[in-house]
A and B are shown apart, each in its own frame.
Chain A
Amino acid sequence: MMSTESNLVLVGVNHKATPVEIREKLAFNQVKLEASLEHLVSCPEIVENIILSTCNRVEIYARVENSEQGIQLLKDFISDYHGIARGGLDQYFYSYRDNQAIEHLFRVSASLDSMILGEAQILGQVKDAYSTARALSSTGLVLNQLFEKAFNVAKKVREETGISERGVSISSAAVELAKKIFEDLENHSVMLVGTGEMAELAAKHLISYGVKTVYVASRTYERAISLAQTLNGCALDFDAFKEELYRADIVITSTAAPTFIIHKEMIEQAIHKRKNKPIFLIDIAVPRDIAPEVNDLENVYLYDIDDLQNVVNANMEERQKEAENAMEIIKEEVTKFNNWFSTLDAVPTIVEMRNRAEEMRKNEAEKTLKNLAHLSNEDQKAIHQLTQSLVNKLLHKPTINLKKKTQSKDGHVYLKAIRHLFHLDD
């Protein structure tokens, strides 16, 4: 018999409540993952399942015959599989069903549950988990639909809220600023003064956004040459960089100099030579390389490492606010998905109800026709058709209404009633 209820459940642990020592023990690598998916789907209680295992979370999404049993089974599985006593894990596990499980998945995919809110990596990880499970046929109609939907929701959240808009690392905040000053970075140039690791990282980030011209100046000329080679730029003599400053739209300094090496007059000259074209100075050296009063010059924008860190902190806070907007979208989508999910429940019942009716019709028609042997084939056919259309007519409205009713809150009551009235569960 087909299941009347298809329950979605989710069991997992994540970075919020579970320390990394526990999380790393519970992680599934690719080999373990595949074996586990196959094992779980072979359990009679589990219809479909997907395992999501990242460094911040281990979660099993499943459609099961019975929610409570399903949850216990999944918890047992995780602890047995990794050889850790259930008792030691229970405090870390969370479990959700139906609506809440859907909402949780949407939140995870949209990166609302991530350690760094709005980071893009998690969506890729959810996609990988899904395609692994799909390849092993451990998913079916419901989880396929659910995960595809989750990807759409994540995309929508990304597009319609600012959750991923703001950089939350020093170099991404710097790139963002550069783009707010220059828009298109393609025709712009960057000059590195000093070859610090972070300067290199920021330069690479800028290059990935289209910056083509790179100058590198360092006290040790060899280091300038080697970094220039890595970045596909040209090395400058350290003494020469001051004269060449005007060529750069973006300057990143990271020298170990104990005092300022770039003063107001230098930038004043450079900006004059540039005919007031803006210049963006990023000073990530500690102690600082650029005199702070440089920022007073018009068309000059100077950010030191603290400024950038403040931007990053503010961006984090903003992401938190945007998460609230994202939640609205998610709530809406959960309702939509749930509507679809509930109609799904009606389908097997309707099929069974119709099969039952057809069975009865056939029996009764044949019984009657046995006593009416004198009828021609044509007439017998007509009687069959009559009974068929009678059954169809009778069941038409109930079918439509049942589909409609299962979308409402008390939909399951109607389903139960139908199953009871038609004796479908015997």
Chain B
Amino acid sequence: MDKISFNLSLFSYLMASLAYFVYLAYRRPLVSTLAGWTVAFGLVCQTVTIGIRSSQTGHGPYTTSFEVALFLSWLMVVVYFLTEWKYKIKDLGAFVIPLVFIVLLYSVFLSKETALLPESSEVRFWLTMHQTLSIMGYAAFSIAFAAGIMYLIQEHQVKSKKLGIMYFRMPSLEVLDDLNFKVIMVGFPLFTLGFMTGSIQNTEMTQPFFSWDLMRTLPLVVTWLIYCLVFFGRMTVGLRGKKAAQGAILGFITVIGTYFLHIL
């Protein structure tokens, strides 16, 4: 059952990605509506998958790499729907949903073994907090990443004065810049809290506060610094537009890098 719902959601995201590309190129309102419903269907299926998995393991989807990928892609879709509802940028789908598909596709190759949570209820609490908050932060960052890419494409067109099809299709620079900021404004505190609860969890597991493996921790610190710069830079010196978009893209690339260093 969970296999069926998993495959259905994977397939839905693939179809929706293609539909969003078609919409980007051909502007058929029906196609975008169809894509929206396909994503919604995928989300329902994925929710079922997560529900079944959680009832089997007895805890939320954040202990194994597979669960994290499952949960992250699920949250990305949720955040996507929230932004789409707030900003009405239909073309965001062409940038976010393929990303969701890739994350979920990646999870196919991960071990489906279940893992047990630590015995101590306190460690368990901090672990849950750490994972949930971090993944929520990453989901927000993924939207900032998509908005950043869209910003750079649009900015390049206006700047170079070569106004292609994307110029007409994509929203204004101001909207994309605003979206980029808003999602980082939500994602950064979540990520920071996730980072902090992670440290607490580590100490709870009777490891000294600063004993962590440098290979695993340093990239996280770098990631945090990048988003910190993007976040406070805007509020203080007006870091916005192209630089903010580049920051969001760089930040997300670091997130991906950090992840792979983490599971090495």
Contacts and interface: CB of A to CB of B under 8 A. Distances in A.
Interface of A: 159-162, 165-166, 177, 179-184, 274-278, 295, 298-299, 301, 303, 307, 310-311, 314-315, 318, 325
B109 interface: no
B241 A160 contact: no
Contacts of A299: 240-242
Contacts of B242: 298-299
Contacts of B171: 183
Contacts of A325: 26
Contact of A182 (B28, B154, B165, B172): B172
24 contacts: A160-B27, A160-B28, A160-B29, A165-B168, A177-B158, A179-B172, A180-B173, A181-B172, A182-B172, A183-B171, A183-B172, A275-B237, A275-B238, A275-B240, A276-B239, A277-B238, A278-B241, A298-B241, A298-B242, A299-B240, A299-B241, A314-B163, A318-B165, A325-B26
B239 A161 contact: no
Nearest to B28: A160
B175 interface: yes
Contact of A311 (B28, B29, B161, B237): B161
Q: Is the interface of B mostly helix, strand, loop or mixed?
A: helix
B81 interface: no
Contacts of A295: 159
B154 to A, nearest CB: 7
What range describes how many residues of B lie at the interface?
A: 20 to 34
Contacts of B163: 311, 314-315
A295 B238 CA distance: 19
Contacts of A159: 29
A298 B243 contact: yes
B161 A180 contact: no
Contacts of A310: 161
A277 B240 contact: yes
A298 B177 CA distance: 14
Nearest to B169: A162
A158 to B, nearest CB: 12
Contacts of B26: 325
Given A160-B29, A311-B163, A180 B240 contact: no
Contacts of A311: 161, 163
A173 B87 CA distance: 24
A335 to B, nearest CB: 19
B224 interface: no
B243 A180 contact: no
A182 B26 CA distance: 25
B41 interface: no
B122 interface: no
B11 interface: no
B241 A180 contact: no
